[in-house]
Amino acid sequence: MTTSMRTSKRTAKRTAKRPAKTAVRATVALALAGALCAVCLNAAEAGQDLPDGSAAHQPRSANSPLLNIDYKDGSLNSGIPGLTTTHATAPDASSVARSGDDYAITHKVTLGDAGYESDGAPRSESATNDVPQGVFHVGDERRYEFRVLLKGWKTYEAGDSESGDIIFQGKHAGGNLPSFYLMTKRNSIAFRSPTLGLQADVVADFRTYVDQWMTFRVDVRWTDDRTGFYRISTRMPGEPEFTLRKTYEKVRTFHPKNPTEFGYLKWGLYRPGQSIGNGDVRTRVVQHDDVRVSRTP
């Protein structure tokens, strides 16, 4: 065999091997790309930033808040478009105040002054009726948490008016009664569902907690039949964990008297039926912070 023939055979063999090596390299590249995509997907599901620095827009986990109103930016609506601040016209009916390292919302109502009235009643409240994450419908299961501080609150003494002040509501739209609310009543804080006729004290005596932050949690399954529930918990100053205070099971939680398709939250100060003539405290001030909506675990 001549030298030229042997050279031709070696060249042919090398040429035949190249497609195989190219295929192997392609397979490895695909595997690496797949692994990188898996890493990116895992990062996206965890809510982390992608390698290019863009945020991963994935559905939130079951425990992530749907709505978190923390007032850290010092604005009346906490930077949330559509959040109602108040319909009362007095300049200090709704305001922000320093609270620790950031801010809280303050609502004030003075009886006998039209500037502290809304819809003909003495009240000043924030509301989520125009915030999609803050409304509820039949079939939803929601956890509502908030902190509240009774600012300079005059406590009840024998012979005083026994009128209550509403500080948080789960409200049916369309002028309906609330599904539930929390209110001060004498020196207690009570949970009520007016249509169902339910009422229970969840804080027996708040006098030692005036001017301190109290935290409340209400878990609700919103149903138009008797498969719903209310579960009310509190965490008082100095307590590390929530304590379940009252449970109502197998109740109809979505029960408007007028037709409506949704409900929403309100917090602040509503003083139904109160007046100076009745001997009610003329001015009340309440603060709220860290209002959160999430899915019930």
Residue by residue, DSSP assigns the chain as: --HHHHHHHHHHHHHHHHHHHHHHHHHHHHHHHHHHHHHHHHHHHTTPBPTTSPBP--PPPTTS-SEEE--TT--TTTT-TT-B--S--STTSEEEEEETTEEEEEEEEETT-GGGEETTEEEEEEE-TT-GGGEE-TT-EEEEEEEEEEETPPPP-TTS----EEEEEEEETTTPPEEEEEEEETTEEEEEETTTTEEEEEES--GGGTTS-EEEEEEEE--SSTTEEEEEEEE-TT-SS-EEEEEEEEE-----SS--S-EEEEEEEE-TT--GGGT--SEEEEEEEEEEEEE--
User: What is the structure's pLDDT at 10?
Assistant: 47
Residue matched to tokens 């339910």: 198
Q: Which tens digit of pLDDT belongs to each residue from 248-272?
A: 999 999 999 899 999 999 999 999 9
Whether residue 47 has pLDDT greater than 90: no
Q: pLDDT exceeding 90 applies to what percent of the chain?
A: 76
Whether residue 201 has pLDDT greater than 60: yes
Q: Which tens digit of pLDDT belongs to each residue from 150-174?
A: 999 999 999 999 999 999 999 999 9
- Nearest CA among 290, 293, 234 for reference residue 105: 290
Over residues 190-201, the mean pLDDT reads: 96
User: What is the structure's pLDDT at 244?
Assistant: 98
Over residues 42-59, the mean pLDDT reads: 33
Q: Which tens digit of pLDDT belongs to each residue from 267-282?
A: 999 999 999 999 999 9
Over residues 64-68, the mean pLDDT reads: 94
Q: Which tens digit of pLDDT belongs to each residue from 89-138?
A: 999 999 999 998 999 999 999 999 999 999 999 999 999 999 999 999 99
Q: Which tens digit of pLDDT belongs to each residue from 1-15?
A: 444 444 444 444 444
Indicate the pLDDT class of residue 62, thresholds 50, 70 and 90. Answer: low
Q: What token pair was written down for 23? A: 């295929």
Interatomic CA distance for residues 120 and 122, integer angstroms = 7
User: What is the structure's pLDDT at 64?
Assistant: 84
